[in-house]
Structure 1
């Protein structure tokens, strides 16, 4: 562990050994605080919902590592499908503990945490498209992220049960999912290229063309949150 690691990172690092036994739970938070030498009140300020917030922080850390790796890679000469495959594979390879990911998946499968889990996957898909330089500013902004969320989520589930050498079965599964998406995109393009269908869909297409992605708000410290630099 780096000497300059934040209290959040120290807690996540300390939690990983306990997650295999206690899951992402309040018991894991208490044990991590003890092992990391972080005051429990500080740990609870960092993770108000206990294990749920710790699991989300673990997920965000994987996102950050994926972004760091992707920005070092030469992606400009790759086709879009190749970029997506590379990005999803990089994100999965950035998961530092498979059992911790398995426990997080189980946690976010619970109805009361499903929304938080879905948002985490959406954020991963959004980050991938952002790093890849997606220029969409209409309904495609949403459809690309929704589609990629499905691809990423299903690939992670497959990976969790994959026992093949160097996860080759997972990467083959990923390629098949991307091929399915590309076939759908080709079918959609052929519909839009058809003069009759283009006329029939003129109204809906016009309405959808008015849709814009949400504004990106700057990250700010909110009241009630813990800022380790203060």
Structure 2
């Protein structure tokens, strides 16, 4: 029997025209990257007026690169929701989610080119937001209900793990990808060791005063009421 604990996070569907453009641009990305030239070629192939295409994707190929990533997140959540997690340790659930996210990639070269794009100084906020969004999607799909500082630390830690996994995976040329799977397990184990260390510190009677002071300071930190607007890389105009 499948566990009911994982439910897909329902979000508005992307514009069908953007999905059409995404399919058209992927063959171009391998040669031209997520560039304006690749975007124009995709627009021509789809037969869309350029003005209409720009209205759908104001930043051109960048918007399609972002859509490519978020579509991968959605595919991962869907795959996770249909997986039987009932007999798995939590660390194994996280490892599976990260592996499923890699498996959702339909074009590895597009990810490689995307890493180059979002590694540019002016694109780093967008790249950080995407990685954070992946970590948030994983924790949310696995049923995370934290509403305090742990909401942030969980996602920050997993963001670092996922970022390093992607870089390792891009350089993994083994046929079965076992090296990447082993790397994922090692990184998740490191995270769990850190969590165990934090728990041990909190239980240490000699450190209780310090732990209490830290807890008091962090007790006011709450999870954002609207996560999509509070992700790294976002900017909300003050009212």
> TM exceeds 0.5?
yes
| Structure 2 unpaired stretches of 5+ | 1-14, 230-239
Say whether 1:156 aligns with 2:166.
yes
Say whether 1:114 aligns with 2:119.
no
Which of residues 87, 112, 121 in structure 1 aligns to 2:97? 87
Q: 1:24 to 1:180 in 2, by over 3 A?
A: same
Tell me how far apart the structure 1 counterparts of residues 140 and 47 of structure 2 sit (CA, whole Å).
Answer: 37
Which of residues 20, 29, 36 in structure 2 aligns to 1:26? 36
SS of the aligned residue for 2:177 comes to helix
Say whether 1:200 aligns with 2:210.
yes
Is the Cα–Cα contact under 8 Å of residues 122 and 149 in structure 1 kept in the other structure?
A: yes
1:7-54 residue CA offsets vs partner (Å, 9 max, x unmatched): 111100000100011100111111111112222112111211122211
Q: Trace 1:156-195 onto structure 2 (pairs within 5 A).
A: 156-195=166-205
Tell me how far apart the structure 2 counterparts of residues 75 and 38 of structure 1 sit (CA, whole Å).
Answer: 44
Tell me how far apart the structure 1 counterparts of residues 160 and 40 of structure 2 sit (CA, whole Å).
Answer: 34
1:224 aligns with none
Q: Give the TM-score, by structure 2 length.
A: 0.87
SS of the aligned residue for 1:166 comes to coil
Deviating above 2 A after TM superposition, structure 1's stretches of 4 or more consecutive aligned residues are 216-219
Is the Cα–Cα contact under 8 Å of residues 88 and 152 in structure 1 kept in the other structure?
A: yes
Highest RCO, 1 vs 2 (Cα 8 Å, sep ≥ 6)? 2
| Structure 1 unpaired stretches of 5+ | 220-230
Q: Give the TM-score, by structure 1 length.
A: 0.90
Q: Trace 1:8-27 onto structure 2 (pairs within 5 A).
A: 8-27=18-37
Task: After superposing the two structures, state which structure 1 stretch, 38-47 or 120-129, moved more.
Answer: 38-47
Count residues with an aligned counterpart: 215
Is the Cα–Cα contact under 8 Å of residues 11 and 38 in structure 1 kept in the other structure?
A: no
Tell me how far apart the structure 2 counterparts of residues 207 and 168 of structure 1 sit (CA, whole Å).
Answer: 43
CA RMSD of the aligned region, Å? 1.5
